[in-house]
Amino acid sequence: MFMLAAGLISPFANAAKSDSEKTLAAFEAFTSAPSKITQQALMQYFSQQATHPITERTPEFEQMVLEGHPLALEVAFECMGYTDGAESLHLRWLIGQSIMSNPEGFLKAVTKYRHTIQRLGALVGYLGPDYVDNLSASILGLEERYMALRDIDSPEYSEARDEVLLALSKRIYQRREQMQEISSDSELRHD
């Protein structure tokens, strides 16, 4: 057992709690007092679980990631290793959205966790289910992310920035190609 921080109760304190309740308690302890201590305690909790029910995040945690809170971004990147496909997709969306609120913080997290990111394009290019069948909105969303990152000139994040910009450029190009194909197919059908 460990204490999440002085005055906070460990999620393991009540053995009768379900895994879901323990997970929520761990996230609540982190979001109520975000610090390196509560972040490490949360990640230690996940590393000790046989299964990793990351689906039990709190709305406060998700909001912190969306706002680009540095510690929450780190937790989100670390949680990617404990998730299944659907959860991983949701975390990718949360992390990607943080580009708009804290582009430099996003690049800092990418720099730190680059070794764990298998598909950078999938991370930065996923805009959520509302964009899947809407190519023009998808292109605009990707361009907005590109513009938010383009002017970050911090030398320590320049390599990450360039990699992310390249990944976004490729996604934008792919979407434009798809639009052209659809347009060409549509023209052929009308002829």
pLDDT bin (cut points 50, 70, 90) of residue 101 is: very high
d(CA 57, CA 15): 20
Question: b vs e for 56-81, b when ≥16 Cβ sit within 10 Å of the residue's Cβ?
Answer: bbbeebbebbbebbbbbbbbbbbbbe
Query: 59 or 52: whose pLDDT is higher?
Result: 59
User: What does the DSSP 8-state code read for residue 12?
Assistant: T
CA distances to 71, 90, 109 from 95, in Å = 12, 9, 10
For residues 63-79, give the mean pLDDT: 93
What confidence score (pLDDT) does residue 33 get? 87
Query: What tens digit of pLDDT does each residue of 113-171 get?
Result: 999 888 999 999 999 888 888 999 999 999 999 999 999 999 999 999 999 999 999 99
* 6 touches 21 (CB < 8 A): no
pLDDT bin (cut points 50, 70, 90) of residue 188 is: low
pTM of the model: 0.80
Query: What tens digit of pLDDT does each residue of 25-56 get?
Result: 888 888 888 899 988 888 888 777 655 556 55
What confidence score (pLDDT) does residue 22 get? 77
For CA atoms 113, 118, 124, 129, the dihedral sign is: negative
Q: What is the DSSP string of 65-129?
A: HHTT-HHHHHHHHHHGGG--HHHHHHHHHHHHHHHHH-HHHHHHHHHHHGGG-S-HHHHHH---G
Reply yes or no on whether the pLDDT at 10 is more than 60.
Answer: no
pLDDT bin (cut points 50, 70, 90) of residue 1 is: very low
% the chain with pLDDT above 90: 49
Rounded to the nearest 10 degrees, what angle do helices 70-79 and 19-32 cross at? 160
CA distances to 53, 94, 189 from 32, in Å = 20, 19, 58
Q: Hey, what are 181's tokens? A: 């194909």
What confidence score (pLDDT) does residue 157 get? 96
For CA atoms 24, 29, 35, 41, the dihedral sign is: negative
Reply yes or no on whether the pLDDT at 94 is more than 90.
Answer: yes
Give every CB contact of residue 67 below 8 A, 6+ residues apart in sequence.
Answer: 98, 101, 102
Give every CB contact of residue 78 below 8 A, 6+ residues apart in sequence.
Answer: 43, 46, 113
For residues 54-67, give the mean pLDDT: 81
User: What does the DSSP 8-state code read for residue 147?
Assistant: H
pLDDT bin (cut points 50, 70, 90) of residue 57 is: low
